[in-house]
Amino acid sequence: MSEMLNVALPKGRLGEKVYSMFEKAGFDCPSIRENNRKLIFENEKSSVRYFWVKPSDVAIYVERGAADLGVAGKDILLEYEPDVYELLDLNIGKCRMAVAAPSDFRDDPSRTLKVATKFSKIAGDFYSSTGRDIDIIHLNGSIEIAPILGLSDVIVDIVETGTTLKENNLEVFETIFPISARLIANKSSFKFKNALCEKVLRELSAQTGRENV
């Protein structure tokens, strides 16, 4: 059997976009488009095996070598700092990490700021760089509810269209950094499956409209 490239795709709309890019790059796997609950798909002819994983888990699969390549948001890479190669900015999945709060929120520097977030490291690093004393409340989702219920003063979260904030009467106070999807590689796979990895990198670079540097 020829060597297979194992690719972890983030489940959801972004993952579908990413698969289309890989397909165009010559790593097609028609069965993946069948609408079922299967999580692993392979096409020996294209030397590729895909698996759908939770977006926040992609980096773990790649770091540990269960996947050779994967696609993860810059937010996940900064939060978990996985030991992987970041090969390419795919220029998709664009959004931003931001501080948001109810529109009448005024920061009182004499008080500890209560910050609800899924991204404790990012929030911690951001506020320590500004010298602000904070109390982090780690949540796993629906972060926007926290300031409404008085659980926190502000949130640090991902903003894409801004709809979730708007519908919960919150607004962005500060953008922390822009986010986009990145192609990542397991360090030893990049060495031992280099020809396949380089082919993906080359083809995807061409699709993002600029060469990787």
What does the binding site for ligand PRP look like in residue numbers (CB under 6 A)? 141-144, 157-164
Closest separation in Å from C-beta 100 to ligand PRP: 9
Residue 142 or 175 with smaller CB distance to ligand PRP: 142
Residue 43 or 164 with smaller CB distance to ligand PRP: 164
Residue 80 or 207 with smaller CB distance to ligand PRP: 80
Residue 49 or 74 with smaller CB distance to ligand PRP: 74
CA-based nearest residue to 80, from 34, 121, 131, 29: 121
Closest separation in Å from C-beta 63 to ligand PRP: 21
Closest separation in Å from C-beta 9 to ligand PRP: 16
Task: Determine how many CB atoms are found less than 10 A away from the CB of residue 8.
Answer: 27
Q: Which amino acid, residue 179?
A: I
Beta-bridge partners for 177: 97
Look up residue 153 and give its two tokens. Answer: 């003063």
Contact status, residue 149 vs residue 86, Cβ threshold 8 Å: no
Closest separation in Å from C-beta 7 to ligand PRP: 22
SS3 helix, strand, coil % of the chain, rounded to 5?
35, 30, 35
